[in-house]
Amino acid sequence: MLRDIELTFGGTPLLENASFSVSAGERLCLVGRNGSGKSTLLKIAAGMTEMDSGERFVQPGTSVRYLPQEPDLSTYATTLQYVEAGLDAGSDPYRPHYLLGQLGLDGTEDPSQLSGGGVRRAALARVLAPEPDILLLDEPTNHLDLNAIEWLERELRSSRSAIVLISHDRRFLETITRTTVWIYQGETRRLDEGFAGFEGWRDGILEQQVVERHKLDRKIVREMEWMRKGVTARRKRNQGRLRALKDLRQERNEQRALGGAVQMTTAETRTSGKLVIEAKNVDKSYGGPTIIKDLNLRILRGDRLAIVGPNGAGKTTLLNLLTGALEPDTGSVKRGTNLEMVTLDQQRESLNDTWTLADALTGRHGDSVIVGGQQKHVIGYMKDFLFLPEQAGTPIGRLSGGERGRLMLARALAQKSNLLVLDEPTNDLDLETLDLLQEMLTDYAGTVLLVSHDRDFIDRVAVSTLGFEGSGAWCEYAGGYSDMASQRHHSGAPAPAQATAEANNKANNKPNKSGKSSGKTAGQTTKLKMSYKDKYALETLPDEMDALQTRIDELRVLMADPDFYTRDPDQFHATAGKLEKADTDMAEAEEQWLRLEMLKEEIDGQ
């Protein structure tokens, strides 16, 4: 059980009053955007990360096993040795052999030679072997192929262990979970249903928050209007209403911004020929078993083809053959005319860890990118993919896996293309980003080649699926993964500063060098006074705010012109800068005016 967990790494708290509990046999998933604190909360539950405050309680005698995103096998000679090191006294000594065999390993593998999928399989065997009371699993399906994912689903459904799970695999979450804990704006919200019921529940909460935020904003506007035009016409100020306005503004400032959405567009180019790729009688091997045998395939403009199969079947080799990165041993691959291809590679290999985020998006040329034929400042494009402006100078090597995934998408989608080649694009992406990627691919006018182990994503995106049949054979099926499975079955086969009146009062009573208070002692009062400068500002600020509002309205009219950027890009950027400054000046003027009004009320009440 975790209760009232708080953790801050600097700046905005990552977790505030976060809580969840898990009972015997429960199936619970933690969901939230990348960077929301899911993995951190799971590490706290595992006892691997210290929190700033809160309580972690584990019933005495309860066994807990934790699966990290990046398991470390470096100190073990074999996979069997690694798995056996995780057993408890009294554990079944044969279970490591059984689990490794089910996961396609024999126990003699050298961990240093394993692929990412092999490491994940060994780590799963280690946490499952002792059959603990509680399993804490962070992205257990990462790097697993479809056969391994479906085996893991069956294993977990039959397990007696309680499970706390983080995953981006929608189908996996729907199959396993019975309770959902959503981490949003640092806090946890619990739904006593599995993931299948989560998204509708979440959307209802977000819609209500938007309504409440709009109501608060409108109330502040009405109160400011009353203050500016109503109070100055009265001798008697309404001190309570002034303080209420101050509280409203403070509430608005302290609210975390509602989560934005990734804004995805593709920079499409000229239309390709009707025939995009045609493979005839293609064979490929590397001196051993045949990887591709007698492949015949036609891909036409607008097709969205998913390629599925177990790890090692040759999916990436097949992609390379189709796109021309690799030549077949026999047969031919013909590619159509006017092809402009963009590839999102599985290992994010094209990212240079020493580059900054802005460098990666601009190619180290200037401070803007071209998207959809229009120039866009790199900061604005970063925001479209949920990066903060201050991250522009962050080295890529310091980004999380999810952030690297979003960056790769941003780079790929900014390039002109009519053929998108996506090798495991869903790795490390949160569910909201996956939704938007799916919508973008559905609307994409070009052709898509997709390699993925995410069954739900394939079902949503693919028009046809090329499945591995064994012994180098591949067969194309109409529809997505579920359609393929069905056809196979039937065929048998920091908050802003607040108003400073209280701070000023505290400053008047700070200790002097002798250690004594420089202010009055208890029972004595200090006569507040307003300086000539403050009086002048209080009289002139309403007119200044009216002038600023007029200026803001004029600039917004200019910016609303859809042809403004095309007609004069330099003037467009200059006007945008002026509007931003005017908005900032208005906010500062309102804060100053409110502070002075409250100070005047205190003076009048002395």
Return the structure tokens found at 372.
Answer: 């959809």
pTM of the predicted structure, to 2 decimals: 0.66
pLDDT over threshold 60, residue 526: no
Q: What is the mean pLDDT of the chain?
A: 80
Considering the domain 528-606, what is its CATH architecture? Orthogonal Bundle (1.10)
pLDDT on residue 45: 93
d(CA 462, CA 305): 6
pLDDT on residue 496: 32
d(CA 476, CA 468): 9
Average pLDDT over residues 148-170: 93
pLDDT on residue 307: 94
Model confidence at 258, in pLDDT bands (50, 70, 90)?
A: very low
Return the structure tokens found at 294.
Answer: 């007698």
pLDDT on residue 108: 94
Residue-by-residue DSSP string for 330-370: EEEEEE-SS--EEEE-TT-TT--TTSBHHHHHHTTSSSEEE
Q: In this structure, how many other beta carbons lie within 10 angstroms of the beta carbon of residue 32? A: 23
pLDDT on residue 318: 92
Half-sphere exposure of 407 (CA within 13 A, CB side): 32
pLDDT greater at residue 584 or residue 158 = 158
Length of the chain: 606
Q: How far is CA 261 from CA 285, 379, 435, 578, in A?
A: 44, 15, 10, 26
User: Per-residue pLDDT tens for 414-470?
Assistant: 778 889 998 888 877 778 778 878 888 888 888 999 998 899 999 989 999 999 998
Q: How far is CA 601 from CA 19, 231, 524, 597, in A?
A: 43, 11, 20, 6
Half-sphere exposure of 15 (CA within 13 A, CB side): 29
pLDDT on residue 502: 35
* Contact partners, residue 537, CB within 8 Å, separation at least 6: 592, 593, 596
Half-sphere exposure of 274 (CA within 13 A, CB side): 0
CB 245 within 8 A of CB 352: no
Considering the domain 2-202, what is its CATH architecture? 3-Layer(aba) Sandwich (3.40)
pLDDT greater at residue 347 or residue 452 = 452
pLDDT over threshold 70, residue 198: yes
d(CA 6, CA 4): 6
CB-count exposure of residue 584 (10 Å: 0-12, 13-18, 19+): exposed
pLDDT on residue 265: 57
pLDDT on residue 239: 57
pLDDT on residue 153: 94
CA angle 249, 251, 255 (to 5 degrees): 120
User: Per-residue pLDDT tens for 386-425?
Assistant: 787 878 888 888 777 677 777 877 887 777 888 999 888 8
pLDDT over threshold 50, residue 520: no
83-115 b/e (C-beta count within 10 Å ≥ 16 → b): bbebbeeebeeebbbebbebbbbebebebeebe
User: Per-residue pLDDT tens for 112-132?
Assistant: 898 888 899 999 999 999 999
What percentage of the chain carries pLDDT values higher than 70?
Answer: 80
pLDDT on residue 497: 31
CB-count exposure of residue 347 (10 Å: 0-12, 13-18, 19+): exposed
Q: In this structure, how many other beta carbons lie within 10 angstroms of the beta carbon of residue 326? A: 15
d(CA 28, CA 162): 8
CATH superfamily membership of 267-490: P-loop containing nucleotide triphosphate hydrolases (3.40.50.300)
pLDDT on residue 387: 80
Q: Do the bridges between strand 374-377 and strand 368-371 make them parallel or antiparallel, or are there none, so unpaired?
A: antiparallel
User: Per-residue pLDDT tens for 9-37?
Assistant: 766 688 888 999 999 999 999 998 877 88
Out of 4-13, 48-57, 199-208, pick the least confident.
Answer: 4-13
pLDDT over threshold 70, residue 220: no
